[in-house]
Amino acid sequence: MKNASQPLLEEYQLGDLTLKNRVVMASLTRGRATNPDLLPTMLMSEYYAQRASTGLILSEGTWVNMQSIGFINVPGIYTQEQVEGWKIVTNAVHESGGLIFSQLGHIGAGAHPDLQNGELPVGPSAINIQSKSFTPEGFKDTVTPREMTVTEIHRTIQDYRQAAQNAKDAGFDGIEIHAIAGMLIPQFLSKATNHRTDEYGASIENRTRIVFEILDAVTEVWDSHRVAIKFSPVMLSNVGIVKPDEETIVLFKYILNKLENYNLAFVHIVGPSEDLSGTDVEELQKDYFTHFRNNYRGRILANLGFSKESANVILKKGDADLVSFGELFIANPDLVERFKYNLPLSESDPNTYYSGEDNGYITYPKSGYAES
Ligand SMILES: Cc1cc2nc3c(=O)[nH]c(=O)nc-3n(C[C@H](O)[C@H](O)[C@H](O)COP(=O)(O)O)c2cc1C
């Protein structure tokens, strides 16, 4: 049904999936897989089910293989046991009337030997991304990774394919490829961290190759309209040297142009979190999403810092088709109802973002304004 004042609350047809509204829960790593096998837990199924009134949930980033692990207590989706755990989560969400995509990620050079049984992490080149890795002993500086061989790149792409299959077996409704700054894919896209001279380096065509090879692999398993990808073209903080440069705008133009052939569920784009003045992407500061809208005819899921008001504005303007919310979902499991009935929003406690078991995870109450 149309909702002239709040398009955010309109039902939305995403391929063959009917979303109850245009509110998407963005992926939130919460570090609650506190077991050695990185299995999803019952706590997680409760947490996600609490948030099922949103049009679509994107799961926290999950690992596609052992080498991709770069943060403690984050669940994987590369073993059969993990698949069994995720089944409980997807069932709980579906029983509560929601839809959930699995976010598939690989942290590449952002990992740490402490998380890799003492082995060096891997990256496109042996270049330290100069960021931080969340190890069992807290945040540590990243190290210089080992350059991936072409065979390893191909194997990693197959790991994405297997993870996509695992997500399907686990009952997810689709997948999102995690390609925001800090992860392996942007390390390939960036000239600062990719000094390769083979078919995965140097030119824009070569540096972006891995994106399309991963999408080609996962769309062997899923119809393309159940596959999405998330990028953060202008992220400046906490990303070490993987920062936008003078080729970023043309590189993303190239990617989006090619993605038009993929008929994806959506491209999820993270907006600027800081002033872009004086950077190579300064021209994106104004009308950021209009720029991407003009360069991509498929569906756009807009993210970063949206409120109910600004989300309705961008949907009305047509610069995005859906809007995702991250932090607001931490303390507001019933965010959609709060938007609908104009209820106050609760504040989240950053101390429990990545630890605390049930505290600050499933303990935030709903507003009590239950939907009939
Ligand atoms: C605690 C926390 C964990 C996050 N984990 C992920 C993640 O696993 N994958 C991802 O793509 N983004 C992750 N993000 C980024 C969010 O998905 C989102 O892009 C960001 O919070 C901006 O949206 P917001 O302003 O609505 O919060 C995380 C953000 C927070 C605050």
- Looking at residue 297, the DSSP 8-state letter turns out to be -
Closest atom of ligand 1 to CA, residue 305: 25
Residue 368, pLDDT score:
78
Predicted confidence (pLDDT) at residue 184 exceeds the cutoff of 80: yes
Question: How far away, in angstroms, is 327 Cα from ligand 1 center?
Answer: 7
91 inside domain: yes
Predicted confidence (pLDDT) at residue 329 exceeds the cutoff of 80: yes
Cα angle 216, 222, 225 (rounded to 5 degrees) comes to 90
1 inside domain: no
Predicted confidence (pLDDT) at residue 4 exceeds the cutoff of 90: no
Structural domain boundaries enclosing 226? 7-352
- pLDDT average, residue stretch 178-182: 95
Predicted confidence (pLDDT) at residue 1 exceeds the cutoff of 70: no
Question: How far away, in angstroms, is 246 Cα from ligand 1 center?
Answer: 26
- pLDDT average, residue stretch 139-150: 97
How is residue 193 written in tokens? 């961290």
Predicted confidence (pLDDT) at residue 197 exceeds the cutoff of 60: yes
Which of 327, 348, 349 gets mutated to test ligand 1 (max ligand atoms within 8 A of its CB)? 327
85 inside domain: yes
358 inside domain: no
Which residues approach ligand 1 with their CB closer than 6 A?
26-29, 60-61, 103, 178, 180, 230, 270, 303-306, 325-328, 353
Closest atom of ligand 1 to CA, residue 303: 23
Question: How far away, in angstroms, is 60 Cα from ligand 1 center?
Answer: 8
Which of 28, 62, 77, 232 gets mutated to test ligand 1 (max ligand atoms within 8 A of its CB)? 28
364 inside domain: no
Residue 15, pLDDT score:
96
How is residue 2 written in tokens? 């149309």
163 inside domain: yes
- pLDDT average, residue stretch 5-17: 96
Residue 314, pLDDT score:
98
Closest atom of ligand 1 to CA, residue 176: 11
Atom 18, ligand 1: which residue's CA is nearest? 326
pLDDT in tens, 236-280: 888 899 999 999 999 999 999 999 999 999 999 999 999 999 999
- For 48, the enclosing helix (H) or strand (E) is helix 42-50
32 inside domain: yes
- CATH code (residue 329): 3.20.20.70
* Residue-wise burial string across 199-223, b where 16 or more C-beta atoms lie within 10 A, e elsewhere: ebbeebebbbbbbebbbebbbebbe
Residue 372, pLDDT score:
40
Cα of 258 vs its chain's centroid, Å = 20
pLDDT in tens, 256-268: 999 999 999 999 9
How is residue 141 written in tokens? 């500086």
Question: How far away, in angstroms, is 326 Cα from ligand 1 center?
Answer: 5
pTM of the model: 0.98
Per DSSP, which regions of the chain are E strands?
Answer: 12-14, 17-19, 23-25, 56-63, 100-105, 122-123, 132-135, 138-141, 146-147, 174-179, 227-231, 266-270, 300-303, 322-325
Question: How far away, in angstroms, is 119 Cα from ligand 1 center?
Answer: 28
334, 345 Cβ separation under 8 angstroms: no
Question: How far away, in angstroms, is 315 Cα from ligand 1 center?
Answer: 21
Average pLDDT, the chain: 96
- pLDDT average, residue stretch 299-312: 98
146 inside domain: yes
Q: Distance between CA 60 and CA 40 in Å, rounded?
A: 11
Question: How far away, in angstroms, is 348 Cα from ligand 1 center?
Answer: 13
- Looking at residue 3, the DSSP 8-state letter turns out to be -
- pLDDT average, residue stretch 33-61: 98
Residue 142, pLDDT score:
97
Q: Report which residue type is found at 207.
A: R
Predicted confidence (pLDDT) at residue 25 exceeds the cutoff of 90: yes
Predicted confidence (pLDDT) at residue 40 exceeds the cutoff of 90: yes
Residue 95, pLDDT score:
98
Total of domains in the chain: 1
Predicted confidence (pLDDT) at residue 315 exceeds the cutoff of 60: yes
